[in-house]
Structure 1
Amino acid sequence: MTDPNALDDVLAPERRQKARGHDAARTAITSQITDRRLPGAILLHGPMGIGKATFAFELAAAILTATGDEPAHRVEEQVAALSHPNIFLLRRRPKDAKSYYTVIRVEDIRSLRDSLHHTRGRAGHRVAIIDSIDDCNPSAANALLKTLEEPPADTSFLLVSHRPGQLL
């Protein structure tokens, strides 16, 4: 079963190496990573299809490389395979073998929150990517808001939004 947002002949965001554009945001966030002044959450917003999710995975790899103990190429491979133990991805979940839920549910947010409170898989920060936060139902959005207000230590949230004006 493919991702409901997948486009034919286009690699999934986690499989791409670098997002096009986003140069000003890249420079600003890279300097924060270098200075070890990472915010608890970063909202990546704009129209659908401009590479926000790809950029989120690029940033995740940069954060994991800068704060961890593995070489960049190894981290990038693990991020592309979604196998790095310090990266967490939250998207709409499969409902059954043929369909997906239409929203990110509060149970999904609670599961993410609980996972972030376990011992780290490796040295360095943990990164949680929510793609897209617009898919959260109201209960899930409230649960996420509570987590963002008091994030776990050394954890960065990368929030992808197509309609930031409609967020809580």
Structure 2
Amino acid sequence: MNEMDVLKNRWREAKGTRTFPDIAEAADLSPSTVEYAFSPKSTNPSIDTVVRISRELHVSLDETFGILSPSGRAETELARQDASHWKARYEAAVRDIEYLRTVILMLGVFFFVVVIWCVALDLRCADIGFFRGEWSFGAVFSIVCISITALLVVLVVVRVCRRHRQRKGENE
């Protein structure tokens, strides 16, 4: 289907119940010219005929043929760039949320493991336990060091997993 066929289909849709003589009178054309312009035999009507019939039927040639004014092209390009910018921001936010969820999950797991470790140590060594007895500098220092080390390990593992998923997504 060529461009003229598309235009003629749009004309037929816009014509509705109007007759060719009505359209011809309003467009200041002869009825035979209008009838011929609508017929499949007409492959190359004059631009004047096309413009007059399209104007009368309120069919936009710009929309039909995909013609944009220079300002329309610029606006379309800006809209396309704006849409791609916001899509990239959205995807980055989704990745960040996924990363934060993973970090929070890992921290929760780590906290749970530390609590279990402290309770187990406390039950075995009642003299120097974390919950019973005295809190010595060595016990508190070891808990802080283990916690910081575990947190760094978790963050490194999450970062490595995230980069791996990004590379895998780029390769697909």
Higher Rg: 2
Task: Name the structure, 1 or 2, with higher relative contact order (CA <8 Å, separation 6+).
Answer: 1
Tell me whether the two structures share a fold, i.e. TM-score over 0.5. no
More strand by share: 1
TM-score (norm 2): 0.22
More helix by share: 2
TM-score (norm 1): 0.23
